Structure 1
Amino acid sequence: MENNFTVEGREIIVKKNELRRNILKNVVQQAEKIVKSPVPFTDYSSFRQYHLSGDRSGYQKPFGEKRRNIVFLAIAAYLTGKEKYILKLQDYIWDICNEQTWSAPAHLPEKLNYEKKYIDLVVSTTAAALAEIYSLLNDKLDENIKNRIVYEIEQRVFIPFYQHPEDYGWFKRYGSNWCAVCCGAIGTALIHTGRGKVYFEKILNNVIESINGYFDHFDTLGGWVEGVSYWNYGITNALKFTDALYRATKGKINLFKHPKIQNTGLFPVHCFLPPDTFVNFGDSVENLALNRETMLLISQHTKYGKNVSWLLKHIRLNDFQDIRSLREIKIPEVLIPEQTFIHFKNIDWAITRKNWKDKNGPVFAIKAGHNEEPHNQIDVGQFIFHVFGEDYLCDYGAGSYTKEYFSPKRYENPFCNAEGHSLIFIDGMSQGLGRNFSGKIIEAKHGELEDEISLDLTGAYPSDLVTKVIRKIKFSKKQKYGHLLISDIVETNTERNIETRIQYNGKLKKLDRKHFVIYGKNGKLALNIIEPEKFNVKTGEFKNLPTLHGERKTMKFLKITSRGTKICFSIEAIPQM
């Protein structure tokens, strides 16, 4: 197989005729700041803080800065040839190579085994970054630095993964972004620094098998159960390898042809919420910048590339995440998507909108699934209603990534438990935890003027609580800004207090017991309780909760409660300018 690898490392990254224009000024500005500052310091006190307090940031902030800064220094050195950038880059590389471990503290046991070779997301991506720099600047780096890069990658990654791939749980965990990130990054590093080595062919075959396994786990239409954030993270590293493999072999090995990758551009396109955010179920974030190179490669190599090109005109892209940002990637002409409704059947998400042209237009998204998904939240039946550029009925996304967040205490956190979602509660209890607690979209009907979506949520609840839970959605497109009707039908064996909860974003005003208005930045949403006849309604909130990116949020919700053995809730949502 190695005979197919005929392209040298630098040209895998960029050829002279592929260089991007108009990036020098920005790159040099960043590189100058880096040159004038010391290499960020990572010490043991910060490292151990995670295991003492659960806080990741003290160590991961400088740890991450090092890895971001080497990208700017490498690009600046390549574009200008100036020695000061090479010298500073070499200091960074030396420092990174001196780190006791390239792993994040959150991925390590409290008591380290210094004989064990830990390989996680950061170990893998660090290896890929250093390997690409090795190829790009091979004629400029000192021999000591080049030899150190090759040695550290070999000792920390290639040899342990070659000898005992089964020791790494992510290797064949195809349904997780870990498989894509670790295998993709290792494969990229291998192409740049592993050729001619005894381990090359075995590792390459293992990586190709795992990346194909990861691709197999996509929804038939290209969706990813972990949401757009982790779709972006996983596929960025998988396609970095796919691209390197394709270019190194002059197209002889082409993983872009995988049928699910041909469709995957549909996922971010349909999850798009105008003007520039995304559906954010699970541990995903709404305000997300997608990787530039990933989106350009998808637009260039896949079936829905023209639709992806359209999306690129509307969203923010994360640039200079790796040195492939040097390359100009040609994309096809823009084509606005045709279908306004999609059902990702394998992950069981449905997303619909009135049209693609109106930035104020309504979008509705809902998920079924089960309660043991990767980056799981207890959220079977969760939905989002987006209009006027805002999520009025919302999902609050991901909480702060602390030690407790990834422990059994995870489900004490409103970001992850049922309390923080628009679900149904029976005598104060809600859905069960585990794969067996699941729901199903049983109807997804698309019409010119109205879409209907029905979910059977019965299986998401303990059987002694309910006998039937159905959630029905009618999304009308007759009105300028749409109209939404949410109907929840709940049946129990004995008389119980039954509650439906609606999460909202904005300022809520109560007009009377049946009528409310949510005021947003650009419009308002009327909420009218049509059924049941007898009910109680209260507002609730969880205050000042830390989020993934350090902000604080207050979750706000309406609790509509009635008592009986069969209750039908009907709530209409009417957007108004």
Structure 2
Amino acid sequence: MFDCLELLLEASQGKINLFDEPLIQELGRYLYRVHIADNYFANFADSSAKFEIEATTAYRYGSRIGDLNLVRLASSAYQTNKPSLSRWLTLHRVIPSFFIDEKMKEHKASPPNVRDVWLNRIEVMAAREQEGSSRGLYLAVKGGHNDESHNHNDIGHFLVYSDGSPFLIDVGVGTYTAKTFSPLRYDIWTMQSAYHNVPMVKGIQQKVGIAYKANEVDYQVHHEAAQISLNLASAYPETAGIDSWKRTYSLNRGQASYIEIVDDFELIQATDDIIIHLMTPCMPQISSIGSILLKNPGGEKVNIQYDASNLLASSEAIKLTDERLQAAWGDCLYRIIIKAKQTVSAAVWTMRICKG
């Protein structure tokens, strides 16, 4: 799109300039609004969690729409990653890159790291502990519906990073094949809600389609906290027997910052077949007292606390063989399975996530 708008601008000698259009500007701003740290981005649907942006194109886009945050992100990516020619080897991208190298070196090397983000049309929120820094906890949450472009069945899904490192993740998507865009798309495990950080009742997953969506969406933000609540009941078919499943997510800022996920649900019929799934690249260390320790290779830790009197946690390893998934996560991921201990028809379960 940027290439086409540039061609129109040049061919018309500046008379056809669409870079002042709000929609065009918002599309460019998405890039830094979902940036987490380094080469990690909030990757809902068919996105990869880790990739290098094309710095020169992002810089030109930011310059055209007059957005310093996008310029900063591009400059940071340029200075952090080894500069390379455009993946799209067209003269219209390669030649301008020769003339802006020095300009990108002049800008601050740090990305903007926006503190609070709310994208109301797609119901995506993101929050971090402090503006301008990747240190501390980061939370991203997705509402919306299950008929989006490149959709995964993932209403109510969330990500948790700490100090710029992934702990609770969106797996992303594997290498595209004919099956990816066929009627068998949701036979692929990465597309299914059972491999996202959402509930499952009676073994029934979320369904695909515009009718399967979040309701009662409420986003609030202030200096001390960012919070969103969603009713997930409509994301599941009637056979799941969910009358209401209100899930509230909050990032609480302070000297001892933490993330809290509260599941407040009512079922049509009592069952003990209720599971909360969590996907992680870290091998879980599960304690019987309601604590799950996640530790990455760099020694950074995140602790997940849950109600052990009502819930039982276990985990399983998932070996990765797909090259695209391996590029993001290595050879193995883990799925944490938090299951109800007894039959319930309604409950409030609270999960708290903190550093260390």
Q: Which has the larger radius of gyration?
A: 1
The counterpart of 1:269, out of the listed 15, 32, 39, is: 32
Distance 1:444 1:541 in 2: 34
Partner of 1:530: 307
Q: Which runs of 5+ in 1 are unaligned?
A: 1-237
Q: Does 1:292 align with 2:70?
A: no
Distance 1:541 1:526 in 2: 19
Q: Please show how residues 252-263 of structure 1 align to structure 2 within 5 Å.
A: 252-263=15-26
Q: Does 1:444 align with 2:219?
A: yes
The counterpart of 1:320, out of the listed 86, 89, 97, is: 86
Corresponding letter in the other structure for 1:326: I
Distance 1:448 1:259 in 2: 27
The SS at the match of 1:299 is helix
Partner of 1:568: 348
Assess if the C-alpha contact under 8 Å between 1:371 and 1:377 holds in 2: yes
The SS at the match of 1:408 is coil
Q: Please show how residues 127-206 of structure 1 align to structure 2 within 5 Å.
A: none
Distance 1:471 1:376 in 2: 21
Distance 2:335 2:320 in 1: 14
Assess if the C-alpha contact under 8 Å between 2:286 and 2:314 holds in 1: no
Q: Does 1:351 align with 2:126?
A: yes
1:351 CA drift (Å): 0.7
Q: Please show how residues 12-161 of structure 1 align to structure 2 within 5 Å.
A: none
Q: Residues 398 and 265 of structure 1: is their aligned pair in 2 closer, same or farther, counting only changes over 3 Å?
A: same
Structure with higher helix content? 1
State the identity %.
Answer: 21
Partner of 1:408: 183
Corresponding letter in the other structure for 1:294: T
Q: Residues 351 and 517 of structure 1: is their aligned pair in 2 closer, same or farther, counting only changes over 3 Å?
A: same
Assess if the C-alpha contact under 8 Å between 1:389 and 1:522 holds in 2: no
Distance 2:248 2:168 in 1: 16
Partner of 1:518: 294
Structure with higher strand content? 2
| TM-score of the pair, normalised by structure 1 | 0.55
Partner of 2:268: 493
Corresponding letter in the other structure for 2:247: R
Assess if the C-alpha contact under 8 Å between 1:547 and 1:553 holds in 2: no
The SS at the match of 2:94 is helix
The SS at the match of 1:493 is strand
The SS at the match of 1:301 is helix
Assess if the C-alpha contact under 8 Å between 2:73 and 2:112 holds in 1: no
Partner of 1:548: 324
Partner of 1:171: none
The SS at the match of 2:167 is strand
The SS at the match of 1:311 is helix
1:441 CA drift (Å): 6.5
Corresponding letter in the other structure for 2:11: A
Assess if the C-alpha contact under 8 Å between 2:284 and 2:336 holds in 1: no
Larger deviation, residues 439-448 vs 274-283: 439-448
Corresponding letter in the other structure for 2:347: I
Assess if the C-alpha contact under 8 Å between 1:519 and 1:525 holds in 2: yes
Distance 1:347 1:487 in 2: 22
Corresponding letter in the other structure for 2:65: T
Corresponding letter in the other structure for 2:68: K
**Cα-to-partner distance string for 1:190-228 (whole Å, 9 max, x where unaligned):** xxxxxxxxxxxxxxxxxxxxxxxxxxxxxxxxxxxxxxx
Distance 1:404 1:485 in 2: 37
1:262 CA drift (Å): 2.1
- Which of 1 and 2 has higher RCO (CA within 8 Å, sep 6+)? 2
Distance 1:519 1:558 in 2: 14
How many equivalent residue pairs? 336
Corresponding letter in the other structure for 1:417: Q
Distance 2:61 2:216 in 1: 29
**Cα-to-partner distance string for 1:126-152 (whole Å, 9 max, x where unaligned):** xxxxxxxxxxxxxxxxxxxxxxxxxxx
Distance 2:113 2:318 in 1: 40
Distance 2:203 2:344 in 1: 14
Assess if the C-alpha contact under 8 Å between 1:513 and 1:537 holds in 2: no
The counterpart of 2:4, out of the listed 237, 241, 254, is: 241
- Where do 4+ consecutive residues of structure 1 move more than 6 Å? none
Assess if the C-alpha contact under 8 Å between 2:243 and 2:268 holds in 1: yes
Assess if the C-alpha contact under 8 Å between 1:537 and 1:559 holds in 2: yes
The SS at the match of 1:256 is coil
Corresponding letter in the other structure for 2:246: I
**Cα-to-partner distance string for 1:408-455 (whole Å, 9 max, x where unaligned):** 222122211112111111111121121211114622111211111111
1:513 CA drift (Å): 4.1
Distance 1:510 1:570 in 2: 17
Assess if the C-alpha contact under 8 Å between 2:113 and 2:133 holds in 1: no
1:333 CA drift (Å): 5.6
Distance 2:187 2:16 in 1: 47
The counterpart of 2:252, out of the listed 454, 457, 476, is: 476
Q: Residues 338 and 377 of structure 1: is their aligned pair in 2 closer, same or farther, counting only changes over 3 Å?
A: closer
Q: Residues 297 and 441 of structure 1: is their aligned pair in 2 closer, same or farther, counting only changes over 3 Å?
A: farther
The counterpart of 2:337, out of the listed 525, 550, 559, is: 559
Q: Residues 479 and 469 of structure 1: is their aligned pair in 2 closer, same or farther, counting only changes over 3 Å?
A: same
Distance 1:442 1:371 in 2: 15
**Cα-to-partner distance string for 1:247-272 (whole Å, 9 max, x where unaligned):** 12111111212111123333111211
1:318 CA drift (Å): 5.8
Q: Does 1:423 align with 2:217?
A: no
Distance 1:244 1:484 in 2: 46
**Cα-to-partner distance string for 1:384-406 (whole Å, 9 max, x where unaligned):** 11112211011111112122222
Distance 2:122 2:84 in 1: 26
The counterpart of 2:136, out of the listed 361, 366, 389, is: 361
Q: Which runs of 5+ in 2 are unaligned?
A: none
The SS at the match of 1:455 is strand
Q: Residues 318 and 415 of structure 1: is their aligned pair in 2 closer, same or farther, counting only changes over 3 Å?
A: farther
Assess if the C-alpha contact under 8 Å between 2:158 and 2:169 holds in 1: yes
**Cα-to-partner distance string for 1:254-313 (whole Å, 9 max, x where unaligned):** 12121111233331112111123211111101222222343122211114x211122124
Distance 1:339 1:296 in 2: 17
The SS at the match of 1:491 is strand
Q: Residues 511 and 536 of structure 1: is their aligned pair in 2 closer, same or farther, counting only changes over 3 Å?
A: closer
| TM-score of the pair, normalised by structure 2 | 0.87
Distance 1:545 1:410 in 2: 18
Corresponding letter in the other structure for 1:543: K
